[in-house]
């Protein structure tokens, strides 16, 4: 398996990957830098076979929150048909926190 996100960082990069199987596909959530905004955020890619991956989305931190400086290190699980994503805020020093978001479709949190 080889996957690197080149869309935002303009160089191959995908850190902290976490793969789960939902909707008859493998979904990978991973940390990627946004060099334009100088922030970390979470990328989303899907695969049918764990070999070939397609980037399908990005998750950015909420403005005006502890997530505003960046989010990273995603971990996902499915419970009762809902995807739960746990991740870490970035760039707040000792005020960084572990956060939780949920989605019914894997994209919208």
Nearest to 58 by CA among 80, 82, 74, 81: 74
Region 13-37: mean pLDDT is: 89
Label each residue of 24-91 as H, E or C: CEEEEEEEEEECCCCEEEEEEEEECCCCCCEEEEEECCCCCCCCCCEEEEEEEEEECCEEEEEEEECC
How high is the pLDDT of residue 64?
86
| Residue 38 pLDDT > 60 | yes
This prediction has a pTM of 0.90
């Amino acid at each position: 398996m080889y996957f690197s996100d080149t869309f935002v960082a303009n160089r191959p990069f995908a850190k902290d990957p976490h793969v789960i199987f939902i909707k008859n596909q493998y979904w990978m959530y991973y940390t990627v830098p946004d060099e334009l905004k100088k922030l970390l955020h979470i990328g989303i890619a899907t695969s049918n076979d764990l070999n070939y991956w397609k980037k399908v989305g990005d998750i950015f931190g909420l403005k005006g929150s502890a997530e505003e400086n960046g989010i990273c290190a995603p971990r996902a699980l499915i419970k009762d048909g809902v995807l739960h994503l746990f991740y870490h805020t970035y760039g707040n020093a000792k005020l960084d926190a572990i956060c939780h978001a949920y989605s019914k479709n894997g994209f919208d949190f």
